[in-house]
Structure 1
Amino acid sequence: MTIVSIEPATPDRWDDLERLFGRTGAYGHCWCAYYRRRAKDFTASVSCAPAERGAGNREELRRLTLDGRIPGLLAYEDGLPCGWVSVAPRDDFIRLSRSRSLRPADPDEPGVWSVVCFWLPPRRRRKGLGAQLLDAAVEYARDGGGRVLEAYPVDTAGGRAPSAEVYTGTVRMFQKAGFACSAHPVSGRPIARLALKAD
């Protein structure tokens, strides 16, 4: 696979992001809004009538993108979007601060960015594109002033997991990229962290 570029999802790239996610908004009408919306708002968007399913989540991602908030990075091959990673300052993800299983040990720690989601169409998976997107996310967070990049991967040491369960990435992928993984003090879920700048 030849990746021409990995670019920030700027307002002029909204159509590419919408094309990549397709009618169903990537993972079941999520539109990469799961961590960005309150639980009740996200649930209302995915459990409504089929004709409207995911519309609220799509609109949230569209609003962020068109407002210039840069919700993540898009990979391109031959001029067409072929992959996505959601990376932004941790404060942009309201669900992280409210989640018992992922709540930060130090919510006031400055300069923390988070990687919360990858989306690759099925024919693009298991070809190294996720690792390329992760490398780009590291550089993007560093260039944006981040001190630490944090992620919430799935441990697949016991075998493969379905793609829909590893949308946050795998422990192995993050470890290969230099992240240190530890267990969340309350939930035991893996937390991956990488220092981007020396203290």
Structure 2
Amino acid sequence: MPKLTVHPLTPERWPDFVRLFGERGVGGGCWCMGWRLPDRQQYLQQKGDSNREAMHALVRGGCVPGLLAYDGPEPIGWCAVAPREAYPALQRSPSRKAVDGERVWSITCVYVARSHRRQRLSTKLIEAAVAYVRSRGGHIVEGYPVPVKPGVTSTNYAFTGFVSAFEEAGFTECLRRSKTRPIMRFYTDRAHKRLKRSGARK
């Protein structure tokens, strides 16, 4: 496994983000804007360069939309993490709408360069996202992964991450509204988790 370093995406690291995502922006021009847009029509209209510029504008404006992972100087991974309200598309999704009224941070994308896959780097990225959320005072981190079906599940359709990687990072399923779309959570402190469980029993 490479010696991984992880850094927030800031303006000076933008060229590394572009280098990792390539000319098309991963996912046919998503540039990790899909969950941030209010409706699918707008997403389809701005796929490609418009999404790239929208993401660049966020970064230039001081928003940290996620974390970049490096193997030495080479950018090799990405994890999008932000407060859930930054992703209006989550609330539009029947299977991913809010579980409760808790303030939640959401992981919406976990991407590893093809050259570095099958090395547990997705788990490391998720763990780094949890550490980042904890450093920002967050208590709940949520993920929306897909289960692995060997020979069936393509990485092209698993941009939200795999269940196994989230489990390895310590997440547990808290709700499932469809067979293939669990909602998983990690509590950054035990006290908050105990309070949540106590409230659920009332």
TM-score by length of 2: 0.87
| Structure 1: distance between partners of 2:4 and 2:171 | 26
Deviations 1:87-144 (A, max 9, x none): 11111111112222211122x322x101010122211111121111111011001111
- The ranges of structure 1 where at least 4 consecutive aligned residues each deviate by more than 6 angstroms after the TM superposition are none
Shift in Å, 1:183: 3.6
Distance in 1 (alpha carbons) for counterparts of 2:21 and 2:9: 13
Q: Is the CA contact (8 Å cut-off) linking 2:99 and 2:175 kept in structure 1? A: no
CA spacing shift, 1:4–1:181, aligned 2, 3 Å:
closer
Q: Name the structure 2 match of 1:44.
A: 45
Q: Would the aligned equivalents of 2:124 and 2:169 in 1 still touch at CA under 8 Å?
A: no
Q: Is the 8 A contact 1:171 1:181 kept in 2?
A: no
Q: Whole-Å Cα distance in 1 between the matches of residues 124 and 4 of structure 2?
A: 12
Structure 2: which 5+ runs fail to align? 193-202
Tell me how far 1:76 sits from its aligned partner: 1.1
Tell whether 2:51 aligns with 1:63. no
Letter of the aligned partner of 2:165 in structure 1?
M
Which residue of 159, 164, 175 corresponds with 1:167?
Answer: 159
Q: Which residue of 2 aligns with 1:49?
A: none
Corresponding position of 2:99? 105
The count of residues paired between Structure 1 and Structure 2 equals 188
Q: CA RMSD in A?
A: 1.5
In percent, how many aligned pairs have the same letter? 39
Is the 2:170–2:186 Cα contact (8 Å) retained in structure 1? yes
Alignment of 1:133 onto 2:133:
no
Whether contact under 8 Å (1:153, 1:190) holds in the other structure is yes
